Amino acid sequence: MPPSLTTLLLLLSLSVSALLASAAQKIETLRTTSNGHFNPQLPPRAFTSSKKFEGSSEFINLKYHMGPVLSNAPINIYLIWYGSWPKPKQAPIRDFLLSFSAPTSATPRRGKALSPSVEQWWRTVSLYADQTNANVSKSIIVAGEYSDSKYSHGKALTRLTVQQVIASAVQLAPFPADHKHGIYLVLTSDDVAMQDFCRAVCGFHYFTFPSMVGYTLPYAWIGDSGKQCPEVCAYPFAIPSYMTGARALRAPNDDAGVDGMVSVIAHELAELATNPLVNAWYAGEDPTAPTEIADLCEGLYGSGGGGGYIGQVMLDRKGRTFNVNGINGRRFLVQWVWNPFLKACSGPNALD
Ligand SMILES: *[C@@H]1O[C@H](CO)[C@@H](O)[C@H](O)[C@H]1NC(C)=O
């Protein structure tokens, strides 16, 4: 099928579901249950609602396409802070990344996280393996950081210039071109525009071209949407104006832009790990528009979610929403990912 037709059909189904979403679901209620979970009855973010799947489904044909997964331990994350990043905005993101390999503990302990934890969330991702039965690594570290605070490639980036941002960082050598263990995360501040940001993407992952960077390096870009489109990319911490009567949920670290980024970072990391060269785990027939393990569960954060609802999540004492714990007492709200054995979206805060 020519891509244009596929795109048309996709747009059509998206706009139909957007109409349905805005017409049918305008009311939010909070259903609090005795176990401390609550079910925010928020309508879905319209533009991704077609990708939500409630419960298990035999119709999702997630396939393995013979390529590698990120099985080398540890997975070295190289962070590029692009633009203006005050420390209070960096801290929750760094703590989140440091939580992937932090052990889960029954009681609060230094360097560990309470259950349900970020580490338990990643266990679903490490169920995926390649053709040699090598699983996605459970060990993830932040191996290097670089601040591109002078906007070396301007305040409006594209899918190609973001590779130049990585090339510049690698040339300056705050960290190596690590093509065995490395993944590169470019995080842009709230004043940086990106091609398709807000309209079609909140983040994306791909790999660099040897002609631009010298190597094939898996990377992801995620932007702080706080000033540009929080109602799109930091949902449910901000809500589109057409959802009259709905109230945004309070972000776990009190920063809608950053807390929204955390879930998008999780989304992109899960997909980078299981489909780093876009030839491993995805559903759909079109490799140029693969539906990957996090795409299948976008907008779903807890049990009973789907059909437009985010599912049962938790509230802290200050009324902030979360579904996983990290190190340093941090909490985060992170979308679920597709579990290949349950054939359903799952996460560590599932109520059995
Ligand atoms: C590794 O992947 C296989 C195949 O998906 C799975 O059965 C196994 O449970 C995974 N191992 C771990 C430790 O997650």
Return the ∠ at Cα 132 (arms to 128 and 134), rounded to 5°.
45
| pLDDT of 179 over the 60 cut | yes
Place 49 in a pLDDT band, splitting at 50, 70 and 90: very low
Mean pLDDT of 84-98: 98
pLDDT at position 306, please? 80
Of all residues in the chain, the percent with pLDDT exceeding 70 is: 83
Name which residue sits closest to atom 7 of ligand 1, judged by CA: 127
Quote the ligand 1 centre to 127 CA distance (angstroms): 4
Per-residue model confidence as pLDDT tens digits over 289-298: 899 999 999 9
| pLDDT of 38 over the 70 cut | no
- The mean-pLDDT minimum among 81-85, 118-122, 284-288 falls in 284-288
pLDDT at position 17, please? 34
Question: Is the CB of residue 129 below 6 angstroms from any atom belonging to ligand 1?
Answer: yes
Quote the ligand 1 centre to 63 CA distance (angstroms): 16
Mean pLDDT of 212-240: 95
Higher pLDDT: 82 or 20? It is 82
pLDDT at position 27, please? 33
Question: Is the CB of residue 73 below 6 angstroms from any atom belonging to ligand 1?
Answer: no
| pLDDT of 177 over the 60 cut | yes
pLDDT at position 42, please? 53
| pLDDT of 46 over the 90 cut | no
Provide the whole-model pTM.
Answer: 0.86
- For the CA of 341, the closest atom of ligand 1 is 5
In the predicted model, what is the mean pLDDT of the chain?
86
Name which residue sits closest to atom 14 of ligand 1, judged by CA: 127
Higher pLDDT: 352 or 299? It is 299
Question: Is the CB of residue 120 below 6 angstroms from any atom belonging to ligand 1?
Answer: no
- For the CA of 123, the closest atom of ligand 1 is 14
Quote the ligand 1 centre to 128 CA distance (angstroms): 6
Quote the ligand 1 centre to 26 CA distance (angstroms): 41
Per-residue model confidence as pLDDT tens digits over 257-281: 999 999 999 999 999 999 999 999 9
Mean pLDDT of 28-39: 44
